[in-house]
A and B are shown apart, each in its own frame.
Chain A
Amino acid sequence: MATHWSQQLHTLLKQQNIRQVSFVPDAGHTALIKLCEADDAMRAVRLTTEEEGVALAVGAWLGGDKSVLLMQSSGVGNCINMLSMLSVCQIPLTMLVTMRGDWAEFNPWQVPMGRATQPVLEEMGVLVSRADREDEIVPLAEGALRIAYNTLRPAAVLIGQRLLGAKTFDQ
């Protein structure tokens, strides 16, 4: 099932002429990352921390490339200060964020950032939408890409943990 929406997202990124896809790996993004890495029309950039992806997007846009940042919700916390640049300079970026710390979370240390993800993004000027059903992901991602690049601002789609399946550590 997971492969299905990842393939649709990959097709969408190609249609929207996304040239740079940066990421810190996350289980929910595994299939999409593999598809982007195998695609010669895209540059897949592995990051050491998510804020690099925000800065990368600024450089990419200065150079005429559209980019997307893939991360887990805990990575949103790593991006806060760097997001300032997107609003000050009116630079577009779409972020696809797989959630931790919401539905059926197993790890208590994930919950604070999971709860804060959406308000933190919104406080920093990011337009946020949230997919809790599989059939919502691609339409919401398309909407985020279009509003980001048509109106020169950052947009994020949160992909809920109920949809992804909560990590259980085999418990």
Chain B
Amino acid sequence: MQPAPKLERRAVVRALLADRGELMVIAGLGAPAWDATDAGDHPLNFPLWGGMGGAVAMGLGLALAQPDRRVLVLTGDGELLMGMGSLATVGVQRPHNLAVVVLDNEHYGETGMQPSHTAFGIDLSAAAKACGFAASSLVTTMQQVATLRADIHGADGPLFAQIKIAADKLTLVLPPRDGTHLKNRFREALLGKVGHFQR
């Protein structure tokens, strides 16, 4: 039997971010940041232009600071591999409002599509399970993506999903690149104008 064709990353991210409400999104360095922007630039997106390996820990800090709001870390296999220890850090804290979704194309897309560890069978969803995530799944169909979208908004976390996607090189859809702008608009959308006066 032929394996099913892999999912298209932009369709996956549009489905995950449909009717997002107050969902806060940390989008990891590279294509996940472009995907999140393609689905619609939003003040509650924090797209990363650097800090490779830090997306999960960043999502954790945000989830702990805002326990009544939902946080999605949307990142790539290469970015996650650089910070795998942070899965263990999340597993100790067990934030109920955090979801980590890895768009796994098994390649380092920004640097010339070199294969990543997942191309050799390294199983990120098993690693998350072993690190104490409340649920961890391998996603290969759009039906599973729809279920995952609902879980991101309502299920008890921390959640982890590894979505197998095609290794397509797509048109860049770039978010703003001024970090202070991204930070200030995020904090204003979350905290209100009073956020600018915090010290």
Contacts and interface: CB of A to CB of B under 8 A. Distances in A.
A85 B89 contact: no
Given A52-B86, A62-B183, A89-B179, A81 B51 contact: yes
Interface string A38-74: 0000010111110111111111111111010000000
Contact of B85 (A49, A64, A88): A49
Contacts of B171: none
A84 to B, nearest CB: 5
A62 B53 contact: no
A144 B81 CA distance: 33
A56 B46 contact: no
A62 to B, nearest CB: 5
Is chain B's binding surface mostly helix, strand, loop or mixed?
helix
A82 B48 CA distance: 11
A56 B58 contact: yes
A143 B62 CA distance: 26
Identify the interface centre among B85, B182, B183: most chain A CB within 10 Å of its CB.
B183
A53 B85 CA distance: 12
A90 B92 CA distance: 29
A100 B88 CA distance: 26
Identify the interface centre among B46, B59, B64, B190: most chain A CB within 10 Å of its CB.
B64
Contacts of A82: 51, 53-54
B180 interface: yes
A44 B199 CA distance: 21
A46 B57 CA distance: 11
B186 A59 contact: no
A90 B61 contact: no
B142 interface: no
Interface string A6-41: 000000000000011000000000000000000000
A64 B189 CA distance: 12
A137 interface: no
Interface string B33-68: 000000000000010111111111111111111100
Interface string A144-171: 0000011000000000000000000000
A55 B199 contact: no
B51 A64 contact: no
A25 B89 CA distance: 13
A57 B61 contact: yes
Contacts of A45: 60, 64, 89, 92-93
Interface string B164-199: 000000000000000110110011001100010011
Contacts of B54: 51-52, 54-55, 58, 82, 85
A99 interface: no
Interface string B17-39: 00000001010000000000000
A45 B88 CA distance: 11
B147 to A, nearest CB: 26
A45 B80 CA distance: 19
Interface of A: 19-20, 43, 45-49, 51-65, 67, 81-82, 84-85, 88-91, 149-150
14 contacts: A20-B61, A54-B54, A56-B60, A59-B59, A60-B62, A60-B65, A62-B61, A62-B183, A63-B64, A64-B198, A85-B51, A88-B180, A90-B180, A90-B183
